[in-house]
Amino acid sequence: MTDSSAGPSAQTAPPRKPRKIFLLLGLVLAAVLAVGLFTSVGTTKNDTRPQQGGPVPSFSAPRLGGSGTVDVPGDGGGGGTPAVLLFFGNWCQVCHGEMPPLAAAVRRQQQAGGSLAKVHVIGVDSEDSQGVAESFVHKSGIQFPVARDPQIAILSGDFYFDGDPNAVFVKGNGRISAIVSGPISVATFTAEEKKLIPSET
């Protein structure tokens, strides 16, 4: 014998509704995720990318082929000292053709004296081992200080460059005068250098 009073009511009971607390937690979580998503939009690398007229990023890195460090703007681009930052690497095929004539032009400027000799030229070798970087610098005839950047912390982290070569021209007040990405001729290099010297403008 069965209990007839329990059967129909058990079968027709309405389904349980989700508790309001779980709905509230779900809405809060969705709102937090949405806020995180939309506040991260607009704060990408491009928003802090160095640009003409803006300040040059400062960095300190081991000096290739010697003791001590290369410091920017300590070594250039600040305190009244203009600078040119040249980014290169042995892995960069374009750099093999670009750097020897640029290095020769810098040597000529230093030997001649004058206003262009006051511009500090600083290299940044990226993604090379120390031995490979030293060999490349020697073969290219580079005599100016070169910072080591094997993990591209300066190239991509500070300057947001995707590859080499690049040239950054910095006024004595630490503001960027020009950025040239890709190959640069000696004529363009020299013309941009002259813009860094007040008497040359």
User: What are 82-106's pLDDT values in tens digits?
Assistant: 999 999 999 999 999 999 999 999 9
Please give the CATH number for the structural domain made up of 49-200: 3.40.30.10
Confidence band of 198 (pLDDT split at 50, 70, 90): confident
Average pLDDT, the chain: 85
Least confident of 14-28, 57-71, 132-146: 14-28
User: Which residues have a Cβ under 8 Å from the Cβ of 106 and sit 6 or more positions away?
Assistant: 121, 143, 144
End-to-end CA distance of the chain: 109
The pLDDT of residue 66: 83
Please name every residue paired with 78 in a beta bridge, in sequence order, or none if there are none.
81
> Whole-prediction pTM value?
0.76
* Pairing between β-strand 176-181 and β-strand 166-170 as defined by DSSP bridges: antiparallel
> Helices 93-112 & 186-194, crossing angle to 10 degrees?
50
pLDDT digit string, tens, across residues 125-155: 999 999 999 999 999 999 999 999 999 999 9
